[in-house]
Structure 1
Amino acid sequence: MESAQSPAHAIAQYDVVIIGAGPSGSVAASLLHQQGKKVLVLEKQAFPRFSIGESLLPCCMQMLDEANMLDAVNNAGFQFKNGAAFNANGRSTHFDFTDKFTPGPGTTFQVERGSFDKLLADTAIEQGVEIRFGDTVEAIDLSADPLLSIVDKQGIPYQVQARYLLDASGFGRVLPRLLDLERPSDLPSRTAIFTHIDDHIDEIELADYQFDRNKILISVHPDNRDIWYWLIPFSNGRCSLGVVGEPHLLGDIGDDLESVLMRLVNEEPRLKQLLAKAKVVRPCARLEGYSANVSTLATNKFALLGNAGEFLDPVFSSGVTIAMQSASMAAKCVVKQLNGQEVDWQVDYAAPLMLGVDTFRTYVQAWYDGRFQDVIFFEAPNPKIKQMICSILAGYAWDQNNPFVTESERRLNMIVELCK
């Protein structure tokens, strides 16, 4: 569904222009529209379009509810998700997201992002939000109110002006590129290779292992725990399958990505067994050097949402949660500023957002150096501590009542020692 309104030749004025109609853009647009703000969303691509980040976290459901999108998502037939399962060298464990420390939803969905993102965008349009698909932002002038130079899908240039600008462009990172905000990440460069498969797992006899379609499965390479795999079941008998590692660990990648992916899958015995009858149904793709950072998250003229600001790593599926959380937090600040109140974008938006991002960062870094893997696979965990960690894995990385949020590094190191 597309907005029927075509760009005018005069410079149209909006309260807020949002670049990108993915989850953060659609949620932010809905929240701002609810507050009576005139919003325009500019989306370069046509929807539906493929994206990874397919295993949502329960925390997302709160933001979908705020945006009045929860009923649409609940009724869309997506794969139910209630936790995460982990597999390494024949050892298995899982986290049940309903058994967590932080209040809030404990279940969510695993989604093919093409249909999920289109559903959110269509729902925003039904609410009255204007979205223009196929329009590309070419330049931005911040000397006064943000002025955007755009080329529409017919190749016709036009301009719009906004009182405030939100970048929800994800890996496109429009503002960081145009405003020279890009900064190197403090995480090593890694590569992800991924595809979708018809999994046929129900045809496999599993004598010693029960596969749960209600959970993402994260597996660790038996010889190198810096390499890990995701297996995300969908409701249609398919799975998203991917492998992640530093490039030198994955071997000679070349152009035959499917051969590389399946070679690595077959090196993990349980995954090899699970996927013995799997068929690849979409061309394999790769994402390289995906971790990113910026010098500035927000000013009184613009704010970066989700992956447009900082992307960590796919290991705990935090990307969409950070995207929606940033949309919710930024929308509140934008409304406040547009209504004439003072907003300190560092204190009111950037710092609170980074509390959760940095919490996720602690556990991402500890996953790769092995400390968090030792914790996850510890055979006799303290139930209360497991609930606190489970809350973070469920996306509640902003809960300051959880000591594993407020003192993430110290608390993690404490239980690492206990696990030894």
Structure 2
Amino acid sequence: MTHDIGVDTDVAIIGAGPAGAAAAALLVRSGLSVHVLERSRFPRFSIGESLLPQCMQTLDEAGLLSAVEAGGFQPKNGAVFTHRAHEAVIDFRDKFSDGWGTTYQVERADFDQRLIEAAAAQGARVDFGVTVTGFRPDAQHPCLTYFDESGHEATLAARFVLDASGYGRVLARLLGLGRDPRLEPRMALFTHVEDHIQEPNFDRDKILIGVHPEDASLWYWLIPFSHGRASVGVVGDVDTLSAQGGDAEQRWQRLIEAEPRFRELLRDARPLRPVASLQGYSADVTRLHGPGYALLGNAGEFLDPVFSSGVTIALRSAQQASPLVVRQLRGDSVDWQCEFERPLRQGIDTFRAFVDAWYDGRLPSIIFHDAHPATIKRMISSVLAGYAWDTSNPFVSAARRRLTTLAELCGHAPVASGDSP
């Protein structure tokens, strides 16, 4: 498809992460010209390393799956939850929804580079080291202003703009779209290690999620990578984590030592990078679209890292937006609210219900209960595997109510009226 005279590209995409790469690949496969602007130089470090099986469908549809499979990443088929002496296993292959039951745990520097290189090989133009500083929304000819690394200012005129800038949230900042994310502010402390885990019963095909033995508001992740490496992090409220030591390294070490399972598994671990901290990551916007633009993934809304939903939502948003862009640029009428924002947010709201239930204790009471009917366990497994848009699943169509009822059946104290949205 050729673009209009006076327009530089059919679609401009801000950001070359998973959402930007997937959207670029999907759009060029539909015959559109695509120009991606990325602030960083790749490869670059990022968290969000434990994918969900639902991602695989989008990667396959975008022609990116073979690039991922060539990466030699650690396979993943589920999650193990641990709290004190209790352990619960969720196997994504045993789920309610149709679709993939396995995926990968990835070092994002390599994963993201593979995706954007594969998108470029399909025909997308990608410029690194450029910073978007201005945006003019327009239903027909939106325009971006950006600077390259030498300080040269340029404009990029397009027929549509997709913001896949992740935590940079470029258009949300430029257009004042941000709003209260309705989640408590939390902090994550994390690093990569050579894990040297020797325990024969440790399952590298699953992410390990731990709960602090004394303070259930604190939780841990251990994401095994290939070649004996792992990502290890701790998440909690800012004040509690800040009270654990003078710097991020001390806080992380003290918290790891406080959780028996993590302390034992990581007793011989060696750090590969300094412990980093991230806070204020939850975000939301008043709208995910406007004249000539739409927001993808974390550029619009990010919840919490607990169920690894970030990359899944990013890829899902690219999958939903791309055919709508194609239709609009062909002259069809597109209702972005009904066809993009509303259905995308329905799945995000399912994840939000599970995140809320995790932090208020309802979901741990369910996960660590030892006598679930198999059907219910498969329904919960489906959501945790990323199938948060499958409304045939009662834990999607009525997530909050079902989680509350099931938690009470598992012995959790009823949630008082008004305590849970």
TM-score range (shorter-chain normalised) is over 0.9
| Letter of the structure 1 residue corresponding to residue 148 of structure 2 | D
CA–CA distance in 2 between the matches of 1:214 and 1:349?
33
Q: Distance in 2 between matches of 1:348 and 1:300?
A: 15
Is the contact between residue 7 and residue 141 of structure 2 (CA under 8 Å) also seen in structure 1? Answer: no
Q: TM-score, normalised by structure 1?
A: 0.95
**SS in structure 2 opposite 1:105?**
coil
Letter in 2 for 1:109: Y
The residue identity in structure 2 corresponding to 1:335 is V
Are positions 1:372 and 2:363 aligned together?
Answer: yes
Are the equivalent residues in 1 in contact too, given 2:283–2:301 (CA < 8 A)?
yes
Shift of 1:333: 1.0
Report what 1:220 is aligned to: 211
The counterpart of 1:164, out of the listed 157, 160, 165, is 160
Out of 60, 65, 79, the residue aligned to residue 84 of structure 1 is: 79
Contact 2:187 2:238 (C-alpha < 8 Å) held by counterparts: yes
C-alpha separation between the residues in 2 aligned to 1:230 and 1:370?
17
2:154 and 2:143 map into 1 onto residues whose CA distance is 11
Structure 1 354/114 Cα, relative in aligned 2: closer, same or farther at 3 Å? same
**Equivalence map 1:45-64=2 (5 Å):** 45-64=40-59
1:146 partner letter? P
Residue-by-residue CA offset, 1:332-372 (whole Å, 9 max, x unaligned)? 11111111111111101000000100000000000000000
What is the 5 A alignment of 1:16-415?
16-143=11-138, 145-202=141-198, 210-252=201-243, 256-415=247-406
- Secondary structure, in 3 states, of the residue corresponding to 1:250? helix
Give the C-alpha shift of residue 253 in structure 1. Answer: 5.6
Distance 2:244 2:365 in 1: 29
Tell me, in whole angstroms, the C-alpha distance in 1 between the residues paired with 2:345 and 2:178.
Answer: 17
Runs of 5+ unmatched residues, structure 2: 412-421
> Residue 85 of structure 1: CA displacement?
0.5
CA distances 1:88-113 after superposition (whole Å, capped 9, x unpaired): 01100111100000000000000000
Cα shift at 1:129 = 0.8
- Give distance in 1, aligned partners of 2:218 and 2:327: 44
Contact 1:11 1:158 in 2 (8 A): no
Moved over 6 A (4+): none
Compute the displacement of 1:12 (Å). 5.2
Aligned to 2:358, the other structure's residue is in SS state helix
Counterpart residue type for residue 19 of structure 1: I
Gaps of 5+ in 1: 1-9
SS of the residue aligned with 1:240? strand
- AA partner of residue 302 (structure 1): Y
Contact 1:11 1:159 in 2 (8 A): no
1:310 to partner: Cα distance: 0.4
* One-letter amino acid matched to 1:180: G
Give me the whole-angstrom Cα distance separating, in 1, the residues matched to 2:227 and 2:11: 38
For these two proteins, the number of residue pairs brought into alignment is 406
Q: What does the per-residue CA deviation read over 1:373-401, in whole Å, with 9 as the maximum and x for residues that have no partner?
A: 00000011110000000000000000011
CA distance in 1, matches of 2:79, 2:6: 49
Displacement of 1:141 in angstroms is: 1.4
- Output the CA distance in 1 between the equivalents of 2:244 and 2:165: 28
Give TM-score, length-normalised by structure 2.
0.94
* Percent of paired sites with the same residue: 54
Question: Displacement of 1:211 after TM fit?
Answer: 1.1
